[in-house]
Amino acid sequence: MQLPPAYVLAAWPKPNYTNPETRGPVLVVVLSILLVVVTFVVGVRVYTRCCITHGFGFDDTLILLAFLPTTAFSIAGIVGSLHLQWNRHTWDVEPSLLALGLKMNLTLQILFDAATNLTKLSMLALLVRITRASGHRTARRAALGIAAVVTADATVFLIVDVSQCRPLAAYWTLSVGPQRCIDQASHLLSAGIFNTVMDAAIALFFPVPFRHAAVRAAADAATTATTATTTSLATTPTDRLGPVNGKFKAEAPTAYPGWRGLPPIVGGLLVGGLAVVAAGAARTFYTWAAATSSDGDVIWRNALVLLASALELNIAVVVASLPAMKPFFCRCLPAIFADVRLWFASVKGDWQARLGTMKRRASVPSVPLPWLKAMLPKPRGADKLPAKPPPDLNKPLPAVQSVDHEANVSRTERQVSPVTVRQSEALTLPSVYDFQTHEDGIISVHRVN
């Protein structure tokens, strides 16, 4: 690699190897968190496909292949920050570490190209798998076309990375004079722009097959519900709904109106894809700023490039694994997943999703707690109480005692002597009563005998 011009080197401050200015442990902490998260996500995806859905496919193989360079990229970034002084200014880095740092930088370029393109191919393979099942031929052809472009892009830029200097050792050899190397700034800028454009295309296209599958599933459910309603009305209409103005009225669920009311997974894919695009745009900007810096402080600015690249790679792997992880959360965390679906449904006003969530939650078997029942105190003598016989519903009712009064006349509006009341209360012979309903809604009771 060619050193900066002499006037730039002369403007550098005096090196400080003992107490230099650093970026702190930010790079190590962020890369460690991303490494743990992406390892968990890929592990859950593989477990779901192998043990729950039993549908391990070509897209899972590609995501495993992408996981290897993604993990290696994060580990190399941590090693470079801890041992190669990548969190310092260029003039504060020890000269003995510059050649090893340039070798690691070339390795990171190759790992990044491999990881990002394998992740894109995994997402496109999943799209092909979904469109083949749903019959969306246009989306399938578009996915295959984008996959061909991504494969060509990966091949071209990989060849350029390993042949950007002749010989390749000139990349990590410090030289004052010119070398037989390509313009690194132009190469990195073109690669970053093309990669960001492809990320944007896939981010906008990735949720489309899921939307098509959701709409088709809703349409099939509506057709099934309409058929079932028509059958039930034809068989026993009066027992089901009853006539409304001489006609039977039944409403079936409709399909999703556009993008509104779709499952949360579609919105998550779109938001995650846009986050990948934002990280790619930031990486391209910082790469161009580091390659064209006037002070030659490349190592200080490359830390931001490394951080943005790690975010782009790891978020892309997580987004690509979201559809495959849904059965895992539905089985292992049914209550939490149902509450999230219910919240989205309440916000969007989608009664279909709310009804489906309640049905799913009702289908989850409750866990018995025999130890809790045993701990509850029992009443004294509960074990010695005799069992009551079941009630006899066919037993005749007792005779109604005769009380000479009408229901529509209050007790205070009439004068009854105590003797008459006592005589009527003492009468135990059965009597027959007649009930009459007046126009004002009052029911009168008259004794017949």
Per the prediction, the chain carries an average pLDDT of 76
Domain containing 160: what range? 22-224+263-330
Q: Judge contact between 66 and 318, C-beta under 8 A.
A: no
Residue 122 — pLDDT band, cuts 50, 70, 90? very high
pLDDT of residue 242: 43
The region of weakest confidence among 91-95, 289-293, 338-342, 401-405 is 401-405
Has residue 435 been placed in a domain?
A: no
Q: Output the domain CATH number for residue 37.
A: 1.20.1070.10
Has residue 255 been placed in a domain?
A: no
Q: Which two tokens stand for residue 276?
A: 């990948």
pLDDT of residue 448: 57
d(CA 386, CA 390): 12
Has residue 324 been placed in a domain?
A: yes
Share of the chain above pLDDT 90, in %: 35
d(CA 370, CA 393): 35
Q: What is the mean pLDDT of residues 239-259?
A: 43
Looking at residue 50, the DSSP 8-state letter turns out to be I
What are the tens digits of pLDDT across the range 69-112?
999 999 999 999 999 999 999 999 999 999 999 999 999 999 99
Give how far Cα 418 sits from Cα of 79, 400, 409, 421, 422, Å. Answer: 106, 21, 18, 5, 6
pLDDT of residue 257: 44
- Where do runs of H (alpha helix) occur along 135-183? 137-162
Using H for helix, E for strand and C for coil, what is the string for 339-350?
HHHHHHHHHHCC
Task: Report the candidate in 21, 178, 170, 165 with the shortest Cα–Cα distance to residue 90.
Answer: 21
What are the tens digits of pLDDT across the range 125-167?
988 888 887 777 888 888 899 999 999 999 999 999 888 888 8
The region of weakest confidence among 4-8, 266-270, 314-318, 427-431 is 427-431
pLDDT of residue 132: 81
pTM: 0.67
The region of weakest confidence among 192-201, 304-313, 363-372 is 363-372
Q: Which two tokens stand for residue 253?
A: 């669920």
- Which amino acid, one-letter code, is at 402? S
Please name every residue paired with 61 in a beta bridge, in sequence order, or none if there are none.
none
pLDDT of residue 380: 58
Has residue 254 been placed in a domain?
A: no
Has residue 12 been placed in a domain?
A: no
Q: Which two tokens stand for residue 267?
A: 């919105």
Has residue 6 been placed in a domain?
A: no
pLDDT of residue 318: 95
Tell me how many domains the chain contains: 1
Q: What is the mean pLDDT of residues 311-325?
A: 93
Please name every residue paired with 175 in a beta bridge, in sequence order, or none if there are none.
2
Q: Are strands 433-437 and 443-447 parallel, antiparallel or unpaired?
A: antiparallel
pLDDT of residue 206: 77
Has residue 293 been placed in a domain?
A: yes
Q: Which two tokens stand for residue 367?
A: 């866990």
d(CA 211, CA 256): 9
pLDDT of residue 139: 84
What are the tens digits of pLDDT across the range 400-414?
555 454 444 444 444
In the predicted model, is pLDDT for residue 383 greater than 90?
A: no
CA atoms within 13 A of residue 426's CA, in its CB half-sphere: 6
Residue 328 — pLDDT band, cuts 50, 70, 90? confident
Q: Judge contact between 139 and 208, C-beta under 8 A.
A: yes
pLDDT of residue 72: 96
In the predicted model, is pLDDT for residue 66 greater than 90?
A: yes
Q: Judge contact between 60 and 50, C-beta under 8 A.
A: no
Has residue 271 been placed in a domain?
A: yes
